[in-house]
Structure 1
Amino acid sequence: MDAVHAEFDELVGRALACPDDALLPCLERLREHLLAHFGQEDDWMRKTAFPAADCHIDEHGKVLASADQVLALVARGDVAIGRSFAAELEHWFPGHADYLDSALAAWMCKRQFGGKPVVLHRRPSHA
């Protein structure tokens, strides 16, 4: 899950930093990632009877629906909406990962190993 989340961060960063003429391909790659990423998590939730699956799967579906709408607009030349979408994903994802994905990870670890995963957080640097 961590590797998939790192890839997500990288793809969002690319979409935010790319030139306008590369935005559509960057967003298409991000959508492909989202389909695989969310599909894998949705599968895990169904296979393990995750209690909050409906909420989590619904949120994935809403993000994918937004991605489809944004891609259509960017394909018609609306670069600003594509940049805004990438920025919103960057803002949305930490909360999603901290609450929904971490709960899924804890659920799967508890079912498989009988305990919770260890979570490490970086301390903010004070310059």
Structure 2
Amino acid sequence: MAARALANGHSPVAAEETFGWSDRFLLGFAAMDETHREFVDRVAALKRASDAELPARLAEFAQHAVAHFAQEERWMTTTAFPAAQCHADEHAAVLRSVREVEQMLRDGAALTLARDLTQALIDWFPAHADYMDAALSHWMSKRTHGGLPVVLRRGVAGPARVSHF
């Protein structure tokens, strides 16, 4: 199933938990953080959508995802990001899954397929942001500002402090 191909096992959010924006997703590159907030909002809207609303919310998400991924891919190109192809391949896989589900719904498939896709997106996004997008954010910050981004995450537990004495 196309939707299941997105899930990668990192930082999954249980189906009964809410999915919404938090400082946990901040990466320190303002334009990327704003786009990610919209991504999370669109996925949360999919999660909350009634059956009647679901196809329209999926179309809105698809439109956002196309623009979002194109923006990141422009950043990767203009800054010569070394892992651009791997990152773009992941975007392409997500868009392929979204398009497949949209087509299946038009062909009369059950709405549970879109619900499964929504959960797969919820499971996929945290790891994608933590690994791929964080690397891009760091790269762009180093290229444009000469250093790593500073990220202040309110209400998010930091790493445990280890005493070396």
TM-score, normalized by length of structure 2? 0.72
Residue deviations 1:12-62, cap 9 Å, x none?
111111110110000000000000000000011011110000100000001
| Counterpart code for 1:56 | H
Aligned counterpart, 1:120: 152
Q: After TM superposition, give the deviation of residue 78 of structure 1 in Å.
A: 1.8
Aligned counterpart, 1:86: 118
| Counterpart code for 1:65 | R
Structure 2 unaligned residues grouped into runs of 5+: 1-31, 159-165
The partner residue of 2:74 within 39, 43, 46 is 43
Identity among equivalent positions (%) equals 44
- Structure having greater relative contact order (Cα 8 Å, sep ≥ 6): 2
| Counterpart code for 2:127 | G
RMSD: 1.2
SS in 2 for 1:21: coil
Higher helix share: 1
Runs of 4+ aligned residues of structure 1 deviating over 6 Å after TM superposition are none
For 1:20 and 1:74, the matched residues in 2 are separated by 12
Structure 1 unaligned residues grouped into runs of 5+: none
For 2:72 and 2:110, the matched residues in 1 are separated by 31
Aligned counterpart, 1:103: 135
